[in-house]
Structure 1
């Protein structure tokens, strides 16, 4: 990410100053820090973490080392640890606004939306021309349910950097959820052109092809993701759905179950497993999968309509109508059709 390289450039400059004017202990800390930066730039995160710890052991007030340690922890997916380390960096040097920006990302990943908002508000003036700042602010607004307000932030991020891949992907995701598939597709295609190995862009292009029922194209996109990461759970499941729609049920089931092994709380994968059992004429097993998806309480297209069909196939009209009526409230299109047809 561009943000990471900007930080490394700035902190390297700071270290050159330290080398000229500090004690031997701080010089040693700076040396470990430089080596940590090199390891971080090479994506050797475990080594970077070790070297930053060495730098901090030599100089406990080395706020920049705490900052880059926080970035490394984010790369390792250790969001809570990253948040705590970045908080230490800010306590040591309250003017280190880079730490507030990175901490806002950690807070966002942890679901601490108010904390993320406070960090961004504190540094907004300094970062008004930062593509990374506007990307993170867009992500926060989207997480708060303000998707329409997130789009202008992504627009600003892209205006400031035409190569901000994440901004294209995230703006495209907002457009996709709004049903604006043409601009969503354009954003995903732009992201994939900038980074041909960008999994979210490729997966989402597959979803658009799925919407268009262009199954060969959809499968080709999902296969591109899986060629890079054979265990990627979303593309495994999405390819499974495409295979269900093209008469390859057993191959589909294997992929969907593999997806659930990696991500058990995926409502779409549970729905798709239910579709498999429906196709096999087993409404009881289908209903079991659909109900597990419902328990997750996340929006899943057609889920209530399909669950009602499973009850209906078992001659349980009252239960079918109950679940379809719930789906009508949730704007499930299939549930709306089934309720109108079968329930009085």
Structure 2
């Protein structure tokens, strides 16, 4: 019985200390799905340490931090690194755009939203976000164009914005 207990403990220790980038990434995804973003960030960081070219780990670390709030500069850096490794990730462009907009840098947000649209032109939420950025820049005509496109693609959440701001 004692040998079995020692074997179980040894197996657990080996499992814990032998995690590779993929294992840590998967643990991060699990923690994120459980709503434990802080723990998810720890695992995504370990996955990045194990494999600095792991674009999804940068993306998900940024997203987890975005859900918590704060550390916008780090979030931008993680989305940027993710995009260096995977430049055609429309979600990373859109989410980085959200952070730029939150920071008041609407021009960079607009640039990211346009790139997201170039990659995936049928994504209604990014048109809504682009419209919001244009509205913040007092470019009402462009805002209305993008909200209308978002509605055409099925996003009914923009109806109120259209009714209040557009002819």
The question of a shared fold, defined as TM-score above 0.5 by the shorter chain, is answered with yes
Correspondent of 1:197 among 109, 122, 125: 122
Q: Are the counterparts in 2 of residues 169 and 201 from structure 1 also a CA contact under 8 Å?
A: yes
Instruction: Give the conservation status (yes or no) of the 8 Å contact 2:37–2:65.
Output: no
Q: Per-residue displacement from partner, 1:165-198 (whole Å, max 9, x unpaired)?
A: 2221111111000110011100111111111122
Contact conserved, 1:172 with 1:183, CA < 8 A, in 2? yes
> Would you identify which runs of 4 or more consecutive aligned residues in structure 1 move more than 6 Å?
none
The alignment partner of 2:56 has SS state of helix
**Structure of greater relative contact order (alpha carbons < 8 Å, 6+ residues apart):** 2
Does the aligned pair in 1 maintain the 2:106–2:136 contact within 8 Å? no
Matched, 1:218 2:138: no
Q: TM-score, normalised by structure 2?
A: 0.75
Q: State how far apart, in whole Å, the 2-side matches of 1:109 and 1:147 are.
A: 22
* 1:125 match: secondary structure: helix
- In the TM superposition, 1:250-261 aligns within 5 A as none
Shift of 1:106: 4.6
- The superposition leaves residues 45-85 of structure 1 with CA deviations (integer Å, 9 ceiling, x where unpaired) of xxxxxxxxxxxxxxxxxxxxxxxxxxxxxxxxxxxxxxxxx
Offset, 1:225: 2.5
Task: Give the TM-score, by structure 1 length.
Answer: 0.39
* Residue in structure 2 matched with residue 151 of structure 1 by the alignment: 76
Over alpha carbons, which structure has the higher Rg? 1
Tell me, in whole angstroms, the C-alpha distance in 2 between the residues paired with 1:127 and 1:200.
32
Q: Does 1:240 align with 2:160?
A: yes
Contact 1:218 1:242 in 2 (8 A): no
The 1:246/1:161 distance shift into structure 2, 3 A limit, reads: closer
Task: Give the root-mean-square deviation of aligned CA atoms.
Answer: 2.5
Residue 122 of structure 1 aligns with which residue? 46
- 2:3 aligned partner: none
Work out the number of aligned pairs and report it.
150
1:104-115 correspondence to structure 2 within 5 Å? 104-115=28-39
Shift of 1:111: 2.8
Kindly tell me: are residues 148 and 101 of structure 1, through their superposed partners in 2, closer, same or farther at Cα, counting changes over 3 Å?
Answer: same
Q: 1:138 aligns with which of 62, 65, 86?
A: 62
CA distance in 2, matches of 1:109, 1:203: 26
Query: In structure 1, how many angstroms separate the alpha carbons of the residues matched to 2:138 and 2:159?
Result: 12
Q: Partners in 1 of 2:132 and 2:80 — Cα distance? A: 23
Please say if residues 128 and 147 of structure 2, whose CA atoms lie closer than 8 Å, have aligned partners that are also in contact.
Answer: yes
Corresponding residue to 1:160 among 85, 99, 110: 85
Structure 1 CA distance for aligned equivalents of residues 25 and 143 of structure 2: 36
**Contact 2:40 2:64 (C-alpha < 8 Å) held by counterparts:** yes
